[in-house]
Amino acid sequence: MSTMHNEAENQQRLSEPPWEAAEPADDPAPSLGATARELIETVLFILLVFFILRGVVQNFRVDGQSMEPNFHSGQYILVNKIIYFHFDANAPLRLLPGMGDLPPRVIYPFRMPQRGDVVVLEAPTGDGSEPVDYIKRVIALPGETIQIKDGKVWINGEVLPEHVSQGGYLYEQTDCLGGRLCQPYVVPPGTVVVLGDHRSNSQDSRYWNAEPGLPLDRIVGKAWLSYWPREAWGVVPTPSYARSAP
C-alpha cells in the first residue's frame, strides 16, 4: 500500500512542469516629462536652500585698510544677517482708517547692534549711486552723545577705552577731522555712529556729509567668522567694553 502511494506521488511529481527562473519584469523607462519634473524640483530645492542661506549668512571680502590691523584687505569673513533682523509692529495698524500717523514700533527679536560690533553696512553715498559695502565698528548708539576730542572718543562725557593699552583694538589716536563729531553730537533715533579701526585711513561717520548717524536699516549684518586666510580663521570678537561702557 505504501509502495503504491509512493508511486502515485512520483507520477504526480513527474507530471509537474520543470521549474524555470522567472525573468525579471522590465521596469518601464521614466518618461521625459517625469525626468524634467524631477530636474525642475531639484533645481528649485537648491535655489530655495541658497536663498535661505543668503538671508542668514553672507560672505564678504574686506577691501582696503580701514580696519587694520584687525582686518586686512583681501580677508574673507562670514556675516550674520539674521542677528539684526527687525520689523515694525505698527506697520499693519497703519493700514486701518485713522491710524496712518501711528509712529513706528521697531522690534528686534534677537538684538540691536551693540557698541563694539564689527558690522558690514551700505555706506551712504548721497549722490544716488549704487551703495558700497563697508566694514566698520559700531561706536555710539541711539540717544547717546558722542564727541571726538584730545585724540579720543567720548561717550556721554566719558572716554571710551579703545586703545590696546586698555584692552582695546586701537593703535592710534582718533581725529575728528573738522566735522560734526568735533562737537557733542546726539545720535538720532534709529541710527548709530560707526568708525574704522584704522582711524587715520577710514571713510566712516566722520566723512559723511549729511548726518554722522548711520541708519540702522543700512546695516547688512554682524561680522561673525573670518575664514580666509587660514591664519586669520576664527570668530570675530566683540570687545568687553561693549557691555560696560556708559
Q: Any catalytic annotation for residue 152?
A: no
Active-site residue among 66, 202, 205, 226?
66
Strand order in the sheet with 185-186: 158-159, 152-155, 145-149, 185-186
192 has a pLDDT exceeding 80? yes
Q: Is 81 a catalytic residue?
A: no
pLDDT at 2: 47
What is the pLDDT, as a whole number, of residue 235?
95
What is the C-alpha end-to-end distance of the chain, expressed in Å? Answer: 112
Band the pLDDT of 124: cuts 50, 70, 90: confident
* Lookup: cell for 213: 548717524
In this predicted structure, what is the pLDDT of residue 41? 65
Q: Does 38 fall in a domain?
A: no
**Phi (first) and psi of residue 2, to 5 degrees:** -65, -35
- 246: which residues sit within 8 A by CB, 6+ positions away? 144, 155, 156, 157, 158
pLDDT digits (tens, 9 = 90+) for 49-68: 555 555 678 899 999 999 99
pLDDT band at 128 (very low <50, low <70, confident <90, very high): low
* 34 occurs within a structural domain: no
> Could you give phi then psi for residue 242, rounded to 5 degrees?
-60, -20
Contacts of 80 (CB under 8 A, 6+ apart): 56, 57, 221, 222, 223, 224
Nearest Cα to Cα of residue 118 among 234, 39, 16: 234
Average pLDDT estimate for 13-33: 54
For residue 116, the domain's CATH number is: 2.10.109.10
pLDDT tens-place string over residues 212-232: 999 999 999 999 999 999 999
- The answer to whether the beta carbons of residues 106 and 190 sit under 8 Å apart is yes
In a domain, 20, yes or no: no
Mean pLDDT of 68-87: 94
**Max Cα distance, the chain (Å):** 125
Residue 95 is assigned to a structural domain of this protein: yes
Number of C-beta neighbours around residue 128 at 10 A:
5
Q: Which of 15, 31, 81, 136 is labelled catalytic? A: 136
- The pLDDT of residue 237 is above 70: yes
Is the model more confident about 168 or about 125? Answer: 168
- Would residue 108 count as lying in a domain? yes
What pLDDT does 20 receive? 53
Looking at the structure of the chain, the number of domains it has is 1
In a domain, 3, yes or no: no
Within 10 angstroms of residue 4's Cβ, the number of other Cβ atoms is: 8
Per residue in 194-205, pLDDT (tens digit) is: 999 999 999 999
Phi, psi of 217 (to 5 degrees): -65, -15
| DSSP letter for each residue of 102-123 | PPP-EE-SS----TT-EEEEEE
Residue 40 domain-assigned (yes or no):
no
**What pLDDT score was predicted for residue 36?**
73
Mean pLDDT of 153-157: 97
pTM as predicted: 0.76
User: What's the CA gap between 57 and 226, in Å, rounded?
Assistant: 13
**pLDDT value at 46 more than 70:** no
Would the pLDDT of 18 be above 70? no
Q: Does the pLDDT at position 80 exceed 50? A: yes
Residue 4 in any domain: the answer is no
Q: Decide: 75 and 228 in contact? Cβ < 8 Å.
A: yes
Is residue 138 a contact partner of residue 115, using CB atoms and an 8 Å limit? yes
Helix ranges (H only) for the chain are 2-15, 32-56, 241-244
DSSP type of residue 162 = -
- Give the pLDDT band of residue 99 (cuts 50, 70, 90): confident
Mean pLDDT of the chain: 83
Range of the domain at 78: 51-244
